[in-house]
């Protein structure tokens, strides 16, 4: 928050140096109000660890003795109020008993805060998430500073709120809206929180002192539950609403893979009218969830994301990006960079693709940017550039023309004389090795790969591709750029298909072989979706574009030969006929309004375990090969890349983690059996011998 840049975030009394607490600073003002500043030692953001909770208990015990006129809780961190629980403490949990005991101790402290016999106020800026929101809910009043955001992201970790949130939240506001927020993990801003009744007031920093005193001394009207809340929390109504919630949850998160949403719905349905019972049941439910494989794998994914964020480093110097090629990928890369504050010039040989890209950008900004003025500013930063003059001043040039080696090399020959000293030349190629692309480039040391994934606005991964002649400083700057546009960088060494496309190609081509075997496309997609993939390989091929699938498949087969499934002749015919998938309205599916028509066909045999293995295990096999070849040098990063670049079933923790969980010997045995039956493309890679 700009106005709080370099000072303690409180307009109450300034804390004295030192003090009896490590993570809290407690002072009292002239009106007898206690101001408690949460400032977790050694951290950039406040989180709730067992140590912090224990110290908060001591603070509350002292306040019960002192009986101040009121209590105001604030954060001294610029990042926000409280970001949630310390997720480190959930890692490796394997016994629900100790987990339940630990969450019970934390519950007791939050209950103690709620039971304080003096008025309590949470003053909230920045992020107030998970356990942080549960602390705020235990206070009698909540005051938000404009710009604050609220939410319960626990579902993303395979959990539900565990410090009284389900009971208190569903009692305070409309329970349907409360459950929706907890089930989706979405955040809301301060104004929306006020409209829901979550906070009592929204103010500016300069008015915090007066607003807090108004709350303490009864001059601020508190949001209170209405009659509708009581009706919706009534038993018969809960039963009806809970059934509807389960149906909605099942569309996005099947029960067998993601138990947390259903556990939360059960909690509310069984105990929503009885707060003490719901609080007791919540502890037991949380303890059971935290030890599930789903929760432990999603917690692992959380840390994989943090690990990949750190790869970006810092010190981004890229201010102006020039994108060449305004097609689906180039246009969306340009829009995303403009959304993230970059000045972007977008070039193409024709005006129509640029116009289409600008239209898509406006639609994207309208969805993801809240303020109309910010939408306008983002569009102002995205500049159509038919003449390509932006290249002269750009810090980074991203080439996103079709996957043709000769075409890309011609583009580089035209670009290089215009580029300024120190500028980076990046290609968004999805498969062509940089060793091939750099032929004829005057300064190959500044050519690198920035491989984005479609859709750019949703998939977080960017492969940062290097070759043996790269300038290390430019690679470092490329990593920093990826972090600066809120994406996760993966350093990969140049090789056909790099990591993600090399792993995905056998997945999609094997699906084509299954089609050749007269298996219904819906059954093939169902095999992958039942495993946990966000969409099946047939739908994915349509999403990517059958022309791109064909180009990538041909290129990789030229490098890896029979290690890949054969490309069917009919796929070439579909491409020649312009049936390219979603972008043309027809591929394997007919597409309407951006969605495939999956009208059920005649009854088909459900997918077999063998079919699932044929689709899924080659991805793990390729990932092991990429580790062995040094394309990526870290197994965790391989898993992170596949999750953030393809949506690989997050609850399984990635293709290598899945193999580790299933057992490497079991996977190798299954691959050998498939190789005997279907051919050498299933032969286990030599890297399995050293896989751990």
Q: Which residues are catalytic?
A: 134, 154
Helices (H), 272-350: 275-290, 293-311, 328-339
- Rounded CA-CA distance 343/323 in Å is 11
Token pair 């103690």 in the structure block, residue: 112
Query: What is the C-alpha separation between 620 and 656, in angstroms, rounded?
Result: 6
Residue 676: phi and psi, rounded to 5, are -65, -35
Token reading at 340: 């993230």
Beta strands 149-151 and 187-189 are antiparallel
d(CA 398, CA 529): 34
Contact 70, 61 (CB under 8 A): no
| Beta strand pairing call for 149-151 and 201-203 | unpaired
Residue 495: C-alpha distances to residues 268, 431, 433, 502, 643 (Å) = 52, 8, 5, 9, 20
Query: 165, 137 in Cβ contact below 8 A?
Result: yes
Contact indicator for 470, 495 with CB cutoff of 8 Å: no
β pairing state of 120-124 and 70-75: parallel
CA distance 198 to 415: 55
Which of 451, 443, 441, 449 has the alpha carbon at shortest distance from 411?
A: 441
CA atoms within 13 A on the CB side of 330: 26
Contact indicator for 453, 645 with CB cutoff of 8 Å: yes
Whole-angstrom distance, CA of residue 682 vs CA of residue 417 = 47
Residue 239 in contact with residue 227, Cβ under 8 Å?
no
CA–CA dist 610, 671 (Å, integer): 10
- Cβ atoms of 557 and 567 within 8 Å: the answer is yes
3-state secondary structure 435-461: HHHCCCCCCHHHEEEEEECCCCCCCCE
Structure tokens at 598: 């999956």
Q: How far apart are CA 143 and CA 150, in angstroms?
A: 12
> Alpha helix locations (H) across 291-439?
293-311, 328-339, 351-368, 372-381, 405-415, 434-437
Report residue 145 as tokens: 């500073």
């Amino acid at each position: 928050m700009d106005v709080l840049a370099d000072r303690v975030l409180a307009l109450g009394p300034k804390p004295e140096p030192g003090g009896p607490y490590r993570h809290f600073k407690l002072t009292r003002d002239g009106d007898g109000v206690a101001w408690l500043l949460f400032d977790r030692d050694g951290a950039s953001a406040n989180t709730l660890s067992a140590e912090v909770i224990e110290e908060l208990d001591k603070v509350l015990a002292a306040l019960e003795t002192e009986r101040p006129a009121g209590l105001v809780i604030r954060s001294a961190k610029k990042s926000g109020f409280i970001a949630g629980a310390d997720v480190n403490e959930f890692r490796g949990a394997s016994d629900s008993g100790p987990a339940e005991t630990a969450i019970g101790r934390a519950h007791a402290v939050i209950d103690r805060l709620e039971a304080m016999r003096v008025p309590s106020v949470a003053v909230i800026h920045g992020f107030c998430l998970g356990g942080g929101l549960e602390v705020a809910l235990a206070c009698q009043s909540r005051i938000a500073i404009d710009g604050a955001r609220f939410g319960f992201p626990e579902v993303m970790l395979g959990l539900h709120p565990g410090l009284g949130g389900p009971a208190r939240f569903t009692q305070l506001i409309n329970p349907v809206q409360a459950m929706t927020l907890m089930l989706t993990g979405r955040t809301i801003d301060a104004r929306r929180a006020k409209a829901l009744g979550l906070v009592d007031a929204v103010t500016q920093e300069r008015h915090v002192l007066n607003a807090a005193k108004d709350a303490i001394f009864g001059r601020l009207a508190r949001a209170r539950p209405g009659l509708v809340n009581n009706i919706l929390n009534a038993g018969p109504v809960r039963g009806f609403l809970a059934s509807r919630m389960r149906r909605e949850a099942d569309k996005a998160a099947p029960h067998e893979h993601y138990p947390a949403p259903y556990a939360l719905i059960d909690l509310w349905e069984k105990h929503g009218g009885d707060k003490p019972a719901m609080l007791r049941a919540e502890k037991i439910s949380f303890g059971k969830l935290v030890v599930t494989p789903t929760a432990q794998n999603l917690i692992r994914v959380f840390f994989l994301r943090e690990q990949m964020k750190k790869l970006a480093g810092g010190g981004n110097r890229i201010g102006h990006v020039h994108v060449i090629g305004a097609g689906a990928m180039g246009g969306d890369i340009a829009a995303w960079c403009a959304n993230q504050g970059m000045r972007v010039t977008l070039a193409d040989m024709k005006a129509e693709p640029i116009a289409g890209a600008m239209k898509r950008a406006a639609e994207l900004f309208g969805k993801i940017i809240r303020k109309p003025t910010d939408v306008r500013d983002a569009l102002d930063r995205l500049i159509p550039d038919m003449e390509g003059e932006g290249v002269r001043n750009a810090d980074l040039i991203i080439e996103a023309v079709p996957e043709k080696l000769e075409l890309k090399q011609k583009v580089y020959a035209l670009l290089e004389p215009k580029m300024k000293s120190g500028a980076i030349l990046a290609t968004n190629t999805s498969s062509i090795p940089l060793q091939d692309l750099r032929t004829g480039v005057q300064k190959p040391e500044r050519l690198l790969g920035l491989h984005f994934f479609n859709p750019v606005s949703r998939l977080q991964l960017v492969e940062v591709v290097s070759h043996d002649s790269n300038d290390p400083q430019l690679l470092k700057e490329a990593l920093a750029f990826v972090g600066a546009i809120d994406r996760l960088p993966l350093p990969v060494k140049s090789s056909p298909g790099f990591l993600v496309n090399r792993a995905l190609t056998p997945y999609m081509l094997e699906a084509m072989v299954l089609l050749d075997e007269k298996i219904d496309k819906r059954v093939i997609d169902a095999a992958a979706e039942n495993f946990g993939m966000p969409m099946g390989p047939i739908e994915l091929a349509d999403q990517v574009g059958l022309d791109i699938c064909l180009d990538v498949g041909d290129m990789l087969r030229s490098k890896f030969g029979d290690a890949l499934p054969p490309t069917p002749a009919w796929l070439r015919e579909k491409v020649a006929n312009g049936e390219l998938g979603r972008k043309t309205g027809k591929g394997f599916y007919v597409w309407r309004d951006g969605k495939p028509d999956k009208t059920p066909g005649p009854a088909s045999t459900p997918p077999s375990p063998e079919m699932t293995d044929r689709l899924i295990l080659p991805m793990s096999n390729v990932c092991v090969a990429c580790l062995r070849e040094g394309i990526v040098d870290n197994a965790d990063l391989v898993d992170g890349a596949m999750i953030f670049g393809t949506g690989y079933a997050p609850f399984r923790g990635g293709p290598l983690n899945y193999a580790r969980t299933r057992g490497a010997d079991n996977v190798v045995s299954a691959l050998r059996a498939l190789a005997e039956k279907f051919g050498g493309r299933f032969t286990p890679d030599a890297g399995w011998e050293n896989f751990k």
